[in-house]
C-alpha cells in the first residue's frame, strides 16, 4: 500500500513541477543568417548550419520547425525557466495571467466523461443565452465531447474564442437535449478563490495566482473582511505558482511599514534594483499568517520571503518550490516569444531562494525527491545548506539556496490514506457523487446562499450512507472492516465541500467545509 501511495503522490507532485515550468513558457524564432566567414562566435555557427541544411539537404524540410527546435535546445542550456513558446502556447500563457479571457463564461467539472456546468458567471454570455447550473455539455461546434474522454483543456479551447464570435453548444438538461448559440465575450478570471471570516476576528483569503487583477481583487476582499471585524488574516498561497511581480510587490506593501525592504533584483546585465514599502498599506496592524507548500513559487515566494525576513508574520506549511529567477518577455511578430531569465531576486535578508538546476532531470523531480527523502512528513529531513545562512530583521536564522523554509512546519498527512480512500480518488468517486447529489437535490442546493443553512441542510441528507451506497453500486468499492471509521472524519468534510460547491456559495462553501480538516489552517489559528 505504501508503494501505491508513493506512486500517486509522484504523479501529483510531478504535475506541480510541470505547472511551474509551463507558467513561464515562451517562444523565440530565428531566421538563418546567410553569411559564411568561419567565425563561429555568438550565433554564427547555428546560422551557418541552418543555411547549409536549407541549401543542401537531400529532402524538403520545414525550416521554421527546425529553427524552433534549435532555439529550444539552445535555451535548454541556460536554466529551466528560460523557455520558448510557439504562438498558440504564448497566447495561452498570457491569457492565464491577464485577468480575463474571451469565452462563454462558465465554470465546469468533469467528474466522469461529461462536463457539468458548475457555475454560470452572472451577466456573462452563457447566462444571457440561458445556460444554467447543472447543464451537461454534450457537443461544442459540432464536436461530441461527452462520453468520449475528451481532455478538459481541449474542452476549454473549443469554448474559448474571440469576443463577438459565436459558438454552438448542445446541453442535456433533465434528460432533454437543448441547443444554444452563444456569443463569446470578455470573461473576468478571478484569482481570489475564497475570502471569508473563519470566526469573529480571523479572516481567510486564498489566492490561486498573481494576475493583472490580483491587487484589486485582494483589496476588495480584505476591505470587506476588515469592515466585518478581521484582526488576523490567514493568507493561503499553497499551490500558487506565481505570476506578475508587480502584484506581489503591491500585496507586500499592504502589510509593511514605510521603508521596509521587500525584494531586490540583480543580474549580470542588470544593475541592482531595490523595492521598498511606502508605508501606505491598509493591513499593517493585522496579524498575518502565510500558508505555503512545495508548489508555492516565484511571486508567492517573494511575498513569503518579504514577510519572513521582516518578521512581519508567521510562515506555515512546507518548503516552497524554490524559484528565484526573474524572466523578461520578448515577443515577436509571428506571435511567438521567449521568456529569458535576466536577473535573480533576493529577499530582504539578501538570500536567493533559487534551488540548484545544474542537473536538469533532478530539477524536474525535486519535489518527488523531497517526498522520497521524508521531507514532506518530517521537518528534520529538510536539507538545509548551513553555509548559506542569513538573518531576519529580528536576528532569526533563515537559509537560501532552495525555497522558503516555513517558521512552522506542517507535515503532509498520509495517515488517513486508506486503501478505500485511495481507490475512491483514483475513480473520482467523490466528485461523481457530488454531481449525483446535485442532480438529486438541485432545486434546494441552488437556492441556498447562507453557509449555516447549507451546513444544516447537508447534515440532514445522511451523506455518509448515500456515499457508501454510491461507491458500492457505481464503483464496486466497499471499505474493509474498520476502514470507514478511520476515513470518515476526513472524507465527510471533503464530501460536504464538493456537494456544497453546487450551492450559490460556490468556492466559499468548498473551502469553509474543507478547512476543518486542514491542519495548516488549524495551526495558523494558534500560531
Same domain, 426 and 377: no
Give which of 331, 348, 345 is closest to 270, Cα–Cα. Answer: 345
Q: What is the pLDDT of residue 268?
A: 95
89-107 confidence digits (pLDDT tens): 887 777 767 767 788 888 8
Would the pLDDT of 15 be above 50? Answer: no
Would the pLDDT of 6 be above 70? Answer: no
Q: Find out whether 402 and 356 touch, Cβ atoms under 8 Å.
A: yes
Domain boundary among 363, 384, 409: 409
CA end-to-end distance (rounded Å), the chain: 34
What are 306's three cell numbers? 518579504
Other Cβ atoms less than 10 A from the Cβ of 7: the count is 11
CA 307 to chain centre: 21
Would the pLDDT of 227 be above 80? Answer: yes
Whether residue 213 is contained in a domain is answered as: no
Whether residue 94 is contained in a domain is answered as: no
Would the pLDDT of 20 be above 50? Answer: no
* Of 150 and 85, the one with more pLDDT: 85
CA distance 391 to 164: 55
Same domain, 77 and 110: no
Helix (H) or strand (E) holding 328: strand 325-331
Give which of 341, 342, 340, 331 is closest to 29, Cα–Cα. Answer: 331
Question: Mean pLDDT, to the nearest integer, of 186-211?
Answer: 92
444-479 confidence digits (pLDDT tens): 998 999 999 999 999 999 999 999 999 999 999 999
Q: What is the pLDDT of residue 44?
A: 79
User: Is 366 known to be catalytic?
Assistant: no
Q: Find out whether 469 and 413 touch, Cβ atoms under 8 Å.
A: no
Q: What is the pLDDT of residue 5?
A: 41
User: Is 174 known to be catalytic?
Assistant: no
What Rg do the C-alpha atoms of the chain give, in angstroms? 25
Same domain, 387 and 258: yes
Q: What is the pLDDT of residue 481?
A: 92
CA distance 426 to 12: 12
Query: Looking at the whole model, is its pTM more than 0.85?
Result: no
CA neighbours within 13 Å on the CB side: how many for 321?
29
171-197 confidence digits (pLDDT tens): 988 788 999 899 988 877 789 999 999
Query: Packing angle between helix 483-500 and helix 451-459, nearest 10 degrees?
Result: 140
Whether residue 291 is contained in a domain is answered as: yes
Q: Where do the H-state alpha helices sit in 23-151?
A: 44-56, 63-75, 87-98, 125-129
Q: Which is the catalytic residue, given 82, 93, 289, 298?
A: 298
Provide the domain limits for residue 395.
242-409
- Determine whether 460 is exposed, middle or buried from the number of CB atoms within 10 Å of its CB (0-12, 13-18, 19+): exposed
Same domain, 398 and 503: no
400-446 confidence digits (pLDDT tens): 888 999 999 999 887 777 899 999 988 889 988 998 898 899 889 98
CA distance 446 to 65: 50
Hunting for cell 475513480 — which residue is that? 427
CB contact set of 409 (below 8 Å; sequence gap of 6+): 317, 318, 379, 382
Same domain, 403 and 267: yes
Kindly state the DSSP code that residue 243 receives in the 8-state scheme: B
Q: Find out whether 403 and 353 touch, Cβ atoms under 8 Å.
A: yes
Give which of 417, 331, 322, 418 is closest to 370, Cα–Cα. Answer: 322
Same domain, 265 and 380: yes
Same domain, 128 and 76: no
Would the pLDDT of 229 be above 90? Answer: yes
281-303 confidence digits (pLDDT tens): 999 999 999 999 999 999 999 99
Same domain, 121 and 257: no
Whether residue 59 is contained in a domain is answered as: yes
User: What 3-state DSSP class applies to 82?
Assistant: coil
51-75 confidence digits (pLDDT tens): 898 999 999 999 988 988 988 888 8
Would the pLDDT of 168 be above 60? Answer: yes
The mean pLDDT value of the chain amounts to: 86
CA distance 292 to 296: 6
Q: Which is the catalytic residue, given 323, 349, 507, 518?
A: 323
Q: Which is the catalytic residue, given 89, 309, 366, 407?
A: 309
Q: What is the pLDDT of residue 16?
A: 36
Confidence category of residue 2, pLDDT binned at 50, 70, 90: very low
Whether residue 211 is contained in a domain is answered as: no
Domain boundary among 33, 59, 88: 88
Would the pLDDT of 117 be above 80? Answer: yes
CA distance 205 to 255: 14
Same domain, 22 and 142: no
Domain boundary among 88, 113, 135: 88
User: Is 496 known to be catalytic?
Assistant: no
Task: Give the percent of the chain with pLDDT over 90.
Answer: 51
Amino acid at each position: 500500500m505504501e508503494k501505491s501511495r508513493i506512486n500517486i503522490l509522484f504523479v501529483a507532485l510531478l504535475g506541480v513541477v510541470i505547472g511551474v515550468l509551463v507558467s513561464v513558457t515562451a517562444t523565440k524564432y530565428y531566421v538563418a543568417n546567410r553569411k559564411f566567414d568561419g567565425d563561429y562566435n555568438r550565433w554564427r555557427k547555428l546560422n551557418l548550419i541552418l543555411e547549409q541544411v536549407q541549401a543542401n539537404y537531400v529532402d524538403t524540410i520545414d525550416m521554421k520547425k527546425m529553427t524552433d527546435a534549435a532555439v529550444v535546445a539552445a535555451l535548454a542550456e541556460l536554466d529551466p525557466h528560460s523557455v520558448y513558446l510557439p504562438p498558440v502556447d504564448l497566447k495561452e500563457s498570457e491569457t492565464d495571467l491577464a485577468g480575463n479571457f474571451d469565452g462563454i463564461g462558465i465554470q465546469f467539472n468533469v467528474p466522469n466523461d461529461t462536463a457539468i456546468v458548475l457555475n454560470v458567471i452572472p451577466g456573462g454570455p452563457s447566462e444571457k443565452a440561458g445556460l444554467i447550473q447543472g447543464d451537461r455539455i454534450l457537443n461544442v461546434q459540432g464536436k461530441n465531447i461527452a462520453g468520449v474522454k475528451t481532455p478538459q483543456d481541449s474542452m476549454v479551447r473549443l469554448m474559448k474564442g474571440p469576443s463577438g464570435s459565436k459558438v454552438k453548444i448542445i446541453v442535456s438538461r433533465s434528460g432533454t437535449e437543448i441547443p444554444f448559440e452563444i456569443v463569446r465575450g470578455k470573461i473576468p478570471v478571478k484569482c481570489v478563490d475564497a475570502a471569508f471570516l473563519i470566526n469573529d476576528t480571523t479572516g481567510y483569503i486564498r489566492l490561486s495566482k498573481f494576475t493583472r487583477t490580483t491587487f484589486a481583487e485582494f483589496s476588495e476582499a480584505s476591505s470587506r473582511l476588515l469592515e466585518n471585524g478581521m484582526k488576523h488574516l490567514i493568507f493561503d498561497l499553497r499551490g500558487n505558482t506565481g505570476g506578475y511581480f508587480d502584484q506581489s510587490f503591491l500585496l507586500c506593501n499592504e502589510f509593511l511599514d514605510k521603508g521596509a525592504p521587500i525584494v531586490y533584483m540583480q543580474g549580470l546585465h542588470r544593475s541592482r534594483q531595490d523595492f521598498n514599502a511606502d508605508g501606505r498599506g491598509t493591513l499593517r496592524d493585522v496579524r498575518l499568517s502565510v500558508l505555503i507548500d512545495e508548489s508555492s513559487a516565484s511571486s508567492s515566494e517573494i511575498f513569503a520571503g518579504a514577510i519572513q525576513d521582516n518578521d512581519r508574520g508567521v510562515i506555515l506549511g512546507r518548503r516552497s518550490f524554490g524559484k528565484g529567477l526573474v524572466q523578461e518577455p520578448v515577443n515577436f511578430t509571428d506571435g511567438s516569444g521567449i521568456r529569458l531569465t535576466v536577473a535573480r531576486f533576493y529577499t530582504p535578508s539578501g538570500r536567493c531562494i533559487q534551488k540548484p538546476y545544474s542537473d536538469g532531470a533532478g530539477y524536474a523531480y525535486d519535489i518527488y525527491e523531497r517526498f522520497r527523502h521524508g521531507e514532506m512528513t518530517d521537518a528534520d529531513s529538510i536539507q538545509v545548506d548551513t553555509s548559506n545562512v542569513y538573518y531576519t530583521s529580528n536576528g532569526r536564522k533563515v537559509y537560501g539556496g532552495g525555497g522558503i523554509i516555513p517558521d512552522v512546519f506542517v507535515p503532509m498527512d498520509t495517515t488517513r490514506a486508506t486503501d478505500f480512500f485511495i481507490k475512491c480518488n483514483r475513480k473520482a468517486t467523490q466528485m461523481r457523487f457530488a454531481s449525483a447529489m446535485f442532480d438529486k437535490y438541485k432545486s434546494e442546493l441552488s437556492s441556498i446562499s447562507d453557509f449555516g443553512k447549507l451546513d444544516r441542510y447537508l447534515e440532514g441528507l445522511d451523506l455518509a450512507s448515500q456515499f457508501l451506497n454510491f461507491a458500492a453500486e457505481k464503483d464496486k468499492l466497499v471499505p474493509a472492516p474498520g476502514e470507514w471509521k478511520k476515513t470518515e472524519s476526513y472524507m465527510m468534510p471533503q464530501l460536504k465541500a464538493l456537494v456544497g460547491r453546487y450551492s450559490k456559495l460556490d468556492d466559499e462553501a468548498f473551502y469553509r467545509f474543507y478547512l476543518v480538516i486542514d491542519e495548516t489552517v488549524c495551526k495558523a489559528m494558534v500560531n
